[in-house]
Structure 1
């Protein structure tokens, strides 16, 4: 299992120390560096700016939101980044959720699976550069029918450095995970844990078994952010993550329309999720945080003493996970690398 660095998306401004840690990523022996975007900082600019100070690590977006760019614009950015990085770019894409897609980008959210399939088809067609791009799908017709009537198929002026530039997809539900296994080169889970491994292996197998699938489990990447808090007091360690888990399980989306809550419910925390959501949506954030039990945190994170985490890492290494993405904390990165037998 490889280790990556997540610098995420920004809150009020750039995360303190992230630029310096990205610059040290090669020295730390990390496999990859990942940025993200929601409705503030974008994923590409920090990756290009900070990534220019690295030489070996892969540079990936986890994720670029599809509603923020047309598929041809995403392909343009991917080809540009791949050339500038010497073939180290990974295009991570995701559909996001209806609150952001419709509330921030003003784009329709329905049918995200069909939309994702078309999006990736267009990106791959641009990367192949075999002919001017044409696409007759329901979501991304190229050239656009109607309009001025002057649109025509175009082929990228840039020759891609790699026509097989890797595309990863973020997915949480089983159908989305199967789609990632079918059409992508890697999958980004969120709030993954060893207890859910069998469930996701089944979903991935569904995608790998489809006609035209690009990979098998043996050469497919699963790259996941895993929160780590090292502290001899396990409850105090869990307290550092409870607010974030409460936000995702209880405060994102509406009740009955929160994909992150569904992930925890499938892991057996349905009753707890309901309590967390009721409190969070009622405005009682403190109660929502208090309703996150230690075992729920331990299902998706590594918390506690170094010895406890060392024991638990063995279970994580047995899962489908190929890269564990850690937050920008050099001490924690070095500890996890040592516990995994790295440098």
Structure 2
């Protein structure tokens, strides 16, 4: 199992130390550096900026929101960065949710699985550069011939020859149908709440995708990149403090990331066996009582979602994640020295 640095997306201001974190990851033998986007900073630009200071680590997006760009635009970003980095790009994509897709990008959210399939197909056409890119739609028809079209649209091939036709495409997916489709059409999967205890829930969904005719990968060469926070602590007191610090992030995704009518993150917790808790946390969170919602998050859930413990406990827990099929562990850190210490511990 490989290690990746998860930089995430920016808050109110650009982080001051991401250059140091990337340098530490490169020096310490990490396999990859990943960035994210929500409705602020984008995922590609930080990789271009910090990637120029590296020569070895893969540069991944987890995730690019597909509604924010047309499929050919996403392909252009990936193609360009892949050339600049010498073939180190991992293109991670996802559909996001209706609040962001319709509220931020002004695009319809309906039919997310069909849209994903179209986006992946078009991007692969661009990267293959075997013929002018065309697609019948209905979500991303190329050339466009719908309302307002001039009729002058022409199928095109990218001017720049892609460095790799097989640039890896990983998909963020949470529900059964989406995970199965990911196993069918993608090179890897970026689960958001994959844990050792919940890993068994996903295996039949993955197997369904691998068994479909024309599936791109098998379990043997399919990548699973799970994200968590890893922190080595000295004792139980320090561990309790870290668990408390991580609790608000769990309650945010369980209760606040999405509408009451449609919150895919909340549904993952329901499938994990926390149905009553997920409903109550969401109710409190959406009513503005974030502190009470956060207080309800049990220690066992936080510890299942993250790797927190003494050095020996961390090594044991990392092995548990690997045993479930995780091929890359995407870890978040606040300081460069933490990266170096974890790399040394797990070497």
| TM-score, length-scaled by structure 1 | 0.96
The answer to whether the aligner puts 1:92 opposite 2:92 as a matched pair is yes
User: What's the counterpart of residue 204 of structure 1?
Assistant: 206
Aligned to 2:198, the other structure's residue is in SS state: helix
Task: Quote the Cα distance in structure 2 between the aligned partners of 1:102 and 1:186.
Answer: 27
User: What's the counterpart of residue 299 of structure 1?
Assistant: 304
Task: Quote the Cα distance in structure 2 between the aligned partners of 1:333 and 1:197.
Answer: 26
C-alpha deviation, 1:258, in angstroms: 1.0
Task: Quote the Cα distance in structure 2 between the aligned partners of 1:237 and 1:23.
Answer: 25
C-alpha deviation, 1:337, in angstroms: 2.8
User: What's the counterpart of residue 105 of structure 1?
Assistant: 105
The answer to whether the aligner puts 1:333 opposite 2:336 as a matched pair is no
1:236-275 to structure 2, matched below 5 A, reads 236-275=241-280
C-alpha deviation, 1:304, in angstroms: 3.0
Task: Quote the Cα distance in structure 2 between the aligned partners of 1:284 and 1:95.
Answer: 29
1:122-141 to structure 2, matched below 5 A, reads 122-141=122-141
Task: Quote the Cα distance in structure 2 between the aligned partners of 1:111 and 1:286.
Answer: 35
Task: Quote the Cα distance in structure 2 between the aligned partners of 1:126 and 1:106.
Answer: 25
Task: Quote the Cα distance in structure 1 between the aligned partners of 2:318 and 2:90.
Answer: 26
Give yes or no for contact 1:194–1:299 (8 Å, CA) kept in 2.
yes
The answer to whether the aligner puts 1:192 opposite 2:183 as a matched pair is no
C-alpha deviation, 1:332, in angstroms: 3.3
Give yes or no for contact 1:7–1:15 (8 Å, CA) kept in 2.
no
Larger RCO: 1 or 2 (CA < 8 Å, sep 6+): 2
Task: Quote the Cα distance in structure 1 between the aligned partners of 2:102 and 2:68.
Answer: 11
Cα displacement string for residues 8-67 of structure 1 (whole angstroms, at most 9, x for unaligned residues): 110012223111221332211010000111110011111100111000000011111100
Aligned to 2:26, the other structure's residue is in SS state: coil
Task: Quote the Cα distance in structure 2 between the aligned partners of 1:161 and 1:312.
Answer: 38
C-alpha deviation, 1:318, in angstroms: 0.4
Give yes or no for contact 1:143–1:152 (8 Å, CA) kept in 2.
yes
In the alignment, which of 145, 158, 168 is matched to residue 170 of structure 2?
A: 168
C-alpha deviation, 1:293, in angstroms: 0.5
User: What's the counterpart of residue 74 of structure 2?
Assistant: 74
C-alpha deviation, 1:252, in angstroms: 1.2
Question: Which stretches in structure 2 are left out of the alignment for 5+ residues?
Answer: none
Give yes or no for contact 1:248–1:260 (8 Å, CA) kept in 2.
yes
C-alpha deviation, 1:229, in angstroms: 3.2
C-alpha deviation, 1:256, in angstroms: 4.3
Deviates more, 1:227-236 or 1:29-38: 227-236
Task: Quote the Cα distance in structure 2 between the aligned partners of 1:38 and 1:122.
Answer: 23
Give yes or no for contact 1:132–1:154 (8 Å, CA) kept in 2.
yes
Deviates more, 1:253-262 or 1:179-188: 253-262
CA-atom RMSD in angstroms: 1.3
State the number of aligned residues.
341
Give yes or no for contact 2:24–2:340 (8 Å, CA) kept in 1.
no
C-alpha deviation, 1:266, in angstroms: 1.2
C-alpha deviation, 1:299, in angstroms: 1.6
Give yes or no for contact 1:201–1:320 (8 Å, CA) kept in 2.
no
C-alpha deviation, 1:313, in angstroms: 2.2
Task: Quote the Cα distance in structure 1 between the aligned partners of 2:3 and 2:40.
Answer: 26
Cα displacement string for residues 46-102 of structure 1 (whole angstroms, at most 9, x for unaligned residues): 110011100000001111110010000011111101100000011111100001000
Aligned to 1:194, the other structure's residue is in SS state: coil
User: What's the counterpart of residue 13 of structure 1?
Assistant: 13
| TM-score, length-scaled by structure 2 | 0.95
Deviates more, 1:303-312 or 1:17-26: 303-312
Question: Which stretches in structure 1 are left out of the alignment for 5+ residues?
Answer: none
Task: Quote the Cα distance in structure 2 between the aligned partners of 1:15 and 1:325.
Answer: 18
Aligned to 2:5, the other structure's residue is in SS state: strand
